[in-house]
């Protein structure tokens, strides 16, 4: 019999509220989500539906106002911020629409950075960063700054950086939003291949054509899961 897939991320009746002046705004209301190792999940919804808040909760970047969030079986509400940062850095790789590369660091140095926070030695960091640049087809761009790279190249560096600590989960927020359609398709192919290699992929997107490539889709409306 096949082995049962282990839950990697779970949200139990999660609510997230924000104070807006004298009012309380519910950004996410009563979310129950189970994400198994090896899943390919898309979180979709119109602007203002709560996608960004949901991404922060699923990615253990934010704590719930109410409810429980588990990352690989650990309740993140019970962890110190320093512990959570270490665990998050090992288990989740983040990719953002605006790339979020450090402008003063080369492509190689940007990829090496997450490994520094996990206390890997410099020789290992450089060797792995070069390997990842080769895997994303940018071995000839090691010493280039982000401003010297195209949008597609910057996103490839961002993907390589997300893979630096070999996390089990890749969380991508609108990863094709700033790319032309051809480059966007190439980036999505990379996510499909990473999923085939066993990575858990979570895409936050408003593009249903991209979302349809996922195995599961969560639709948000006004902070609540519609489907």
Averaged over 128-142, what is the pLDDT?
Answer: 96
In-domain check, residue 70: no
Please, which pLDDT band fits residue 179 given cuts at 50, 70 and 90?
A: confident
Residues making up the chain, counted from first to last:
227
Give the per-residue pLDDT at 9.
Answer: 95
Q: How many domains does the chain divide into?
A: 1
Q: Angle 201-203-115 (CA atoms, 0-180°, nearest 5)?
A: 60
Residue 195 structural domain: 38-61+86-225
Give the per-residue pLDDT at 148.
Answer: 97
In-domain check, residue 24: no
Task: Check pLDDT > 80 for residue 2.
Answer: no
The set of residues, in sequence order, having a beta carbon less than 8 Å from that of 64 and lying 6+ positions away, is 11, 14, 15, 16, 57, 77
Instruction: Return the minimum-mean-pLDDT range out of 15-24, 35-44, 135-144.
Output: 15-24
Please report which residue ranges of the chain form alpha helices under DSSP H.
51-58, 81-91, 107-116, 122-135, 151-162, 181-196, 208-211
What rounded mean pLDDT belongs to the chain?
92
In-domain check, residue 8: no
In-domain check, residue 6: no
Give the per-residue pLDDT at 158.
Answer: 96
In-domain check, residue 33: no
Specify whether the CB–CB gap between 51 and 226 falls below 8 A: no
Averaged over 68-74, what is the pLDDT?
Answer: 93
In-domain check, residue 14: no
Nearest CA to 39 out of 213, 201, 208 is that of 201
Task: Check pLDDT > 80 for residue 57.
Answer: yes
Please, which pLDDT band fits residue 4 given cuts at 50, 70 and 90?
A: low
Task: Check pLDDT > 80 for residue 1.
Answer: no
In-domain check, residue 68: no
Specify the pTM. 0.91
In-domain check, residue 100: yes
Nearest CA to 111 out of 144, 152, 67 is that of 144
Averaged over 16-22, what is the pLDDT?
Answer: 89
Nearest CA to 155 out of 94, 93, 97 is that of 97
Task: Name the region of 159 (left: φ>0; alpha: ψ -120 to 50; beta: rest).
Answer: alpha
Task: Tell me the CATH number at 181.
Answer: 3.40.50.300
């Amino acid at each position: 019999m096949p082995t049962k897939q282990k839950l990697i991320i779970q949200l139990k009746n999660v609510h997230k509220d924000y104070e807006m002046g004298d009012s309380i705004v519910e950004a996410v209301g009563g979310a129950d989500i189970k994400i198994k190792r090896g899943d390919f999940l898309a979180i979709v919804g119109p602007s203002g539906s709560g996608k960004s808040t949901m991404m922060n909760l699923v990615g253990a970047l934010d704590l719930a106002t109410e409810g429980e969030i588990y990352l690989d079986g650990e309740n993140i509400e019970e962890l110190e911020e320093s512990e959570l940062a270490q665990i998050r850095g090992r288990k989740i790789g983040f990719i953002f629409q605006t790339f979020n590369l450090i402008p003063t660091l080369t492509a190689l140095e940007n990829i090496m950075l997450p490994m520094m926070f996990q206390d890997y030695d410099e020789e290992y960091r450089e060797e792995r960063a070069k390997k990842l640049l080769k895997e994303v087809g940018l071995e000839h761009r090691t010493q280039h700054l982000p401003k010297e790279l195209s949008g597609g190249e910057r996103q490839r560096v961002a993907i390589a950086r997300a893979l630096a600590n070999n996390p089990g989960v890749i969380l991508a927020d609108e990863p094709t939003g700033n790319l032309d359609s051809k480059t966007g398709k190439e980036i999505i192919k990379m996510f499909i291949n990473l999923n085939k290699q066993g990575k858990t992929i979570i895409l936050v997107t408003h593009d249903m054509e991209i979302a349809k490539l996922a195995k599961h889709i969560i639709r948000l409306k006004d902070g609540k899961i519609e489907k």
